[in-house]
Structure 1
Amino acid sequence: MRLTILGGGGFRVPLVYHALLGDRGAGRITEVVLFDTDRSRLAAIGAVLRQQASVADHPLPPPVVTETTDLDEALRGADFIFSAIRVGGLEGRTIDERIALDLDVLGQETVGAGGIAYGLRTLPVAVRIAQRIAAVAPEAWTINFTNPAGMVTEAMIPILGDRVIGICDSPSGLGRRAALAVGVDPSTAFYDYAGLNHLGWLRGLRSGGVDRLPELLQSDDALSSFEEGRLFSPDWLRSIGSIPNEYLHYYYFARETLAAVQAVRQTRGTFLLEQQSAFYAETGKHPDQALELWQKTRAERESTYGVESREVADAGERDERDMEAGGYEQVALSLMRAIAHNERASLILNVRNRGVLHHLDDDAVIEIPCTVDANGALPVTVSQLTDHQAGLVCSVKAVERSTIDAATTGSRSAALKALAYHPLIDSVTVARSVLDACVERLPDLAYLRA
């Protein structure tokens, strides 16, 4: 089978290839096509992948890697398409973050002002890509990891239907860590998880017919053994009766996180821009060391993830359990195998609601456990959202849909509504200032200048 990776020069692509190298099943991926608009980044990541293959302990030939800057060439003949593009690059992310912070609102890349700016840049490109997929590879399945993942997936569905599925590693990582904290095998547990991408809660952890979440919530020691338990504090988790996705720290501790981010020398985007620019430059000079350079850079990247939130919560350093491999690349691999070989799987994915959550319409893309087989992904029944959860989810869904409206129609009014509706932006005046600054400084938002 053939897998096309859009954003093939991206730093995390070797994680996907590593998962493919470990797949020994019949009908595995045998060809990987990397597509990117930047030839130098393609060359660097291509070198990393080939060095991964050269040291892999695998009895079967590794997937053949090719690179191209021609989108139609990349799509043609694909069985699966993995989308992980970053429109505007990390340079755009640093501008998103700085504009928001200068106006005293959070600028995280998928949450609040930064996430909306990122969506406004990305959605027009994602829609054009979906149109090319429909024209060139209509039978392919598209796995979307492009952020903001739920918003982008919802924008692609009118073109690709249910053959586009959004993925994220945060929910599965949370479920896995929570299961291990109470001694449950993560592969045997059912996670009652629901919400939107980067805005969901674990409300149940069932194993052997018993919900183990109440037991977990009552144990300070168990909660303190994993990252989300430390981030939110046992008392707060017991109060809300669930364990939030890590990104909800931006909502529950907005003032403290904003102060922490404003106090540091550089934003997360600036750190990653400097770090990855150095990686690509060094790999260009020393392509024979590409894998070693990538591994060193990745270790530093992972250890510093979410540092501001951990500082606010006094959660300490990330431990090995928090950083252990098995993230989005394993979700993607499991999804592909389930569809290609009709191997029934249970995964938390971004799909259409189809009436599962009563507060949202059928076409709203939500993040929820799904049953996957050759027919695709179907959401399963979970407990309904509480009033608090539903209120936040509905507010952010309105933000997502206003952003999609702005990106697909060019409406500046819709873009302003997206910013003003967001729970972390407390003033229409501030929302207007954010929008004005983003349109002025981000070339990809020129379509909103009229």
Structure 2
Amino acid sequence: MKLTILGGGGFRVPLVYGALLADHAEGRVSAVTLYDTDADRLTAVARVLAEQAENVPDAPAVDATTDLDEALRGADFVFSAIRVGGLEGRAADERVALDLGVLGQETVGAGGIAYGLRTVPVAVDLARRIARLAPDAWVINFTNPAGLVTEAMSRHLGDRVIGICDSPVGLGRRIARVLGADPDRARIDYVGLNHLGWVRGLRVDGRDELPRLLADPALLGSFEEGRLFGADWLRSLGAVPNEYLHYYYFNREAVRAYQEAEQTRGAFLREQQEGFYARMKDPAAPALATWDRTRAEREATYMSENREVAGVGERDGSDLESGGYEQVALALMRAVARDERTTLILNVPNRTTLPVLDAEAVIEVPCLVDANGARPLAVDPLPYHAVGLVTAVKAVERAVLEASESGSRATAVKAFALHPLVDSVTVAERLVDGYVEAHPALARLNRP
């Protein structure tokens, strides 16, 4: 099978290739094509992959190209992991928002809307091109904001595009370990949108173990989300939220911490990755070791401002393990290509899963996956506190899609103004002005 990775010069691509190297089963991926608009980044990542493949006799062949059509032809799977505007764009998204007193995180609030407005037109163009050049390919979307971008692409690819995120999986695995359960055997009751979901149950051998966790302050204080949100708040909710909900539940504190930080997350990653790619221009630099060191620093500093707000200090070693988005992607490919039925938490069209949303709305829930693709499993209705957030944010996503298609400034203002973390229409108008100035591509928002 051929796998094409769009954004193949991206920093996290070696994680995907590492997962492929461990797969030796029949029908596995045997060829990987890396596509990127930046030839230097492609060369750097290809060097890391070459070192990873040493002493692996059946390692998938790797080629790299800056020709998109060439990359797509003959693909069985396409991973979309692009970053429109690069980390420079992310840093600008954060700063424009923070200067106006609102959150600028890349997927949540004003920053996420700005990123979506930049990314959706590019993702739609990719979807159309995939439909033309690789109509039988399955598309796995990593591109953020993942739920929004998946929904935009699904309008052209239907059910053949599936969004993935490692946050829900990582959360479920951490909860299972705290409860002394095997994460691979636990069934996670998770529901919401991407970066806006809740674990409402964790069943082991048919028994829901989450009430035991919520009743035990010591257990709640033993993992990252328990410390981040606090035992009292989790007991009040009767659920464990995705870490990104910290931006909603503790918004004022989070904004202040980000405003007071020496640099934003995007600025930090921009400097870090510029350093990595610069070192990779030295032929003598050890590619894999350099990448490993950079990745460890990246993971250790993840959401550091939020942990500062909660007073929980540095990340524990047990918290550094993510859900492994590369492992989710590999499991998804296996299920589809080999008809190995499994259950995964994915971003897929709602159908009839959540009655408060329409059938086309992309949601993040456990799905049954096999050769026919991914189908959402039935879940209990959302509690009212979740209904409010989910429907409000979905309305924002729909406004982003509409503004991206129409070029309407008024609709872009509406997207910002409707978001729960933007507290004024006036601020929404200033955000649009700021982002249009920061990103020339958004000058297209010039219609009424």
User: What TM-score, normalized to structure 2?
Assistant: 0.98
Q: Which amino acid aligns with 1:23?
A: D
* 1:169 partnered with 2:166: yes
* 1:41 partnered with 2:41: yes
- Say which of 63, 75, 78 aligns to 1:78: 75
Q: 2:231 maps to which residue?
A: 234
Structure 1 regions of 5+ residues with no counterpart?
none
Q: 2:13 maps to which residue?
A: 13
Deviation (angstroms), 1:384 = 1.1
Say which SS state the counterpart of residue 188 (structure 1) adopts: coil
Q: How does 1:106-117 map to 2 (within 5 A)?
A: 106-117=103-114
* Distance in 1, Cα, partners of 2:267 & 2:317: 25
- Say which of 69, 87, 91 aligns to 2:66: 69
* 1:351 partnered with 2:355: no
Q: 2:394 maps to which residue?
A: 397
* 1:369 partnered with 2:366: yes
Deviation (angstroms), 1:85 = 0.1
Q: Is the 8 A contact 1:344 1:373 kept in 2?
A: yes
Q: Which amino acid aligns with 1:8?
A: G
Q: Which amino acid aligns with 1:120?
A: L
Q: 2:219 maps to which residue?
A: 222
Q: 1:32 maps to which residue?
A: 32
Say which SS state the counterpart of residue 104 (structure 1) adopts: coil
Q: Which amino acid aligns with 1:398?
A: A
Deviation (angstroms), 1:287 = 5.5
Deviation (angstroms), 1:243 = 0.2
Q: Is the 8 A contact 2:276 2:291 kept in 1?
A: yes
Say which SS state the counterpart of residue 203 (structure 1) adopts: strand
- Say which of 423, 426, 429 aligns to 1:426: 423
Q: 1:322 maps to which residue?
A: 319
Say which SS state the counterpart of residue 345 (structure 2) adopts: strand
Q: How does 1:245-260 map to 2 (within 5 A)?
A: 245-260=242-257
Give per-residue Cα distances to partners, 1:100-122, cap 9 Å, x unaligned: 00000010000000000000000
* 1:104 partnered with 2:98: no
Q: Is the 8 A contact 1:29 1:63 kept in 2?
A: yes
Distance 1:326 1:423, change over 3 A: closer
Q: Which amino acid aligns with 2:158?
A: G
Aligned length: 447
* Distance in 1, Cα, partners of 2:270 & 2:306: 20
Deviation (angstroms), 1:208 = 0.9
Q: Which amino acid aligns with 1:238?
A: R
* Distance in 2, Cα, partners of 1:287 & 1:434: 45
Distance 1:16 1:421, change over 3 A: same
* 1:50 partnered with 2:50: yes
Deviation (angstroms), 1:326 = 4.9
Give per-residue Cα distances to partners, 1:138-189, cap 9 Å, x unaligned: 0000000100000000001110000000000000000010111101111111
Between 205-214 and 317-326, the greater mean CA deviation after superposition:
317-326
* 1:340 partnered with 2:334: no
- Say which of 430, 439, 443 aligns to 2:440: 443
Deviation (angstroms), 1:446 = 2.1
* Distance in 2, Cα, partners of 1:309 & 1:86: 24
* Distance in 1, Cα, partners of 2:283 & 2:246: 40
Structure 2 regions of 5+ residues with no counterpart?
none
* 1:131 partnered with 2:122: no
Q: 1:281 maps to which residue?
A: 278
Q: How does 1:401-412 map to 2 (within 5 A)?
A: 401-412=398-409
Deviation (angstroms), 1:21 = 0.7
Q: Which amino acid aligns with 2:377?
A: V
Q: Which amino acid aligns with 1:270?
A: A
* Distance in 2, Cα, partners of 1:393 & 1:402: 14
Q: 1:198 maps to which residue?
A: 195
Q: Which amino acid aligns with 1:81?
A: V
Say which SS state the counterpart of residue 8 (structure 1) adopts: coil
Give per-residue Cα distances to partners, 1:74-102, cap 9 Å, x unaligned: 00000000000000000000110000000
Deviation (angstroms), 1:444 = 2.0
- Say which of 125, 146, 150 aligns to 2:143: 146
* Distance in 2, Cα, partners of 1:20 & 1:374: 19
Q: Is the 8 A contact 2:90 2:115 kept in 1?
A: yes
Deviation (angstroms), 1:291 = 1.1
**What's the Cα RMSD here?**
0.9
* Distance in 2, Cα, partners of 1:319 & 1:372: 33
Say which SS state the counterpart of residue 63 (structure 2) adopts: strand
Q: 1:417 maps to which residue?
A: 414
Deviation (angstroms), 1:190 = 1.0
Q: Is the 8 A contact 2:173 2:323 kept in 1?
A: no
Deviation (angstroms), 1:325 = 5.4
* Distance in 1, Cα, partners of 2:29 & 2:223: 34
Deviation (angstroms), 1:324 = 2.1
Deviation (angstroms), 1:327 = 1.0
